[in-house]
Structure 1
Amino acid sequence: MTTDDAIRDRTLKSVRSYLDLMRAQRWDEWIDLWADDAILKFPYAPEGRQGVFKGKEAILTYMSGTTGKISVDSVADLQIYPMLDPEAATVELEINGRLLLDDTPYNQRYITIFQFKGGKIQHYREYWNPLISMKAYGGYDAWMAQFAGGQSGDTA
C-alpha cells in the first residue's frame, strides 16, 4: 500500500467516525477528530447566522448546541467520495427526521467537504438548504429565535 493509500484510508475512517459520533452526539469523542485550529464553515448561512467557527472550543460549543433540537430518524443516500488529495473527502447524505419541539418533519440534504491535516480535521465546509430549516421552524424569525440569534443550533 502506498503512503497516499494509507493516508486516504485513515481519512475515510475518520470521516466515518465523524458521522457515527455526531449521530450518537458523543461530542467529547467527536471533537477529538478536529485540529486545534480547525475551521468549520457554512457557506450558505443566511444573514444573521454565524457562518464560520474557528478552533475546537467554538466548534464544540456550536455543535453540542444541536442536542435536543432535531431527531434524526434515518440517514439515506450516504455517499463518501475520496478525493485525489488523500487528506480530503466529500460526503453527500440526506437525513430524515423531525423537530423535537413539535414533531414537524425535517428532511435535509447535505454535502460536506473535509480537509484533514495529519489525521485531524483542519477545514470543514457544509452545504445545506437553510430554507428547509426555516420552513420547518415556521419561518426565519422563529428559526432565529430557536437558535439564540443564530450563534448556536442545528447544522441546517
Structure 2
Amino acid sequence: MTLIDHALDLLVEHDMAGFLQLFAEDAVTEFPFAAPGRPERIEGRAALAEYLRDYPNLLDHREIVAKTVHQTTDPEISIAEFELAGIAVATQKPYRLRYVVVLTVRDGLIRRYRDYWSPLAVTDVLGVPGV
C-alpha cells in the first residue's frame, strides 16, 4: 500500500489523528486555489491539525470513487488524482469532489502536500462561502 492509499483510507475511516501522523513535524501544506480569506500555506503538523480540526464535521467521506497515482522522475514526488464521495454534514447533501495532490515524501513522511481542490465545488456542496 502506498502512502497516498493509506492517507485516503484514513480520511474515509475518519481517522484524522492517523492522517496527521503521516506528515513530518515541519511539513508544508499548500492550497494554490484557496478561497479568499483562507490560508494558501500551512507550516507544520500542529498548524495543519488546527486547520483540519473541524474537517470531519464538514465532510463525511464515505468512498474513494477513483484514484490514479502518477510517479515522477523524482522518487520523492508523486501526483495523485482522486475523487471522494460522501455526505456534507450540515446539509446532508451527497457530494463527489475531485482532487489533485502533489506529494513530496521523504523518510516515509509527507514533507510537502500541495492540494489542488476547488473551493467553488466545496462551497456548493456545503452551502457556505469561503471554505
TM-score (norm 2): 0.88
The 3 A distance-change label for structure 1 pair 29 and 71 is closer
1:55-66 equivalences under 5 Å are 55-66=44-55
Instruction: State the distance in 2 between where 1:134 and 1:66 align.
Output: 14
The corresponding residue for 1:143 is 129
**Percent identity between the two aligned chains:** 26
1:20 and 2:9 matched: yes
- Deviation, structure 1 residue 33: 1.4
Instruction: State the distance in 1 between where 2:4 and 2:62 align.
Output: 20
Q: Secondary structure at the match of 2:90?
A: coil
Query: Which of 28, 33, 36 is 1:47 aligned to?
Result: 36
CA contact (8 A) 2:101 2:114 kept: yes
1:1-150 equivalences under 5 Å are 13-138=2-127, 142-144=128-130
For the pair shown, the structure with the greater C-alpha radius of gyration is: 1
TM-score (norm 1): 0.75
The structure richer in helix per residue is: 1
The structure richer in strand per residue is: 2
| Structure 1: segments with no counterpart, 5+ residues | 1-11, 145-149, 151-156
CA contact (8 A) 1:25 1:64 kept: no
| Structure 2: segments with no counterpart, 5+ residues | none
> What is the one-letter code of the residue matched to 1:114?
L
CA contact (8 A) 1:114 1:123 kept: yes
Instruction: State the distance in 1 between where 2:98 and 2:60 align.
Output: 15
> What is the one-letter code of the residue matched to 2:129?
W
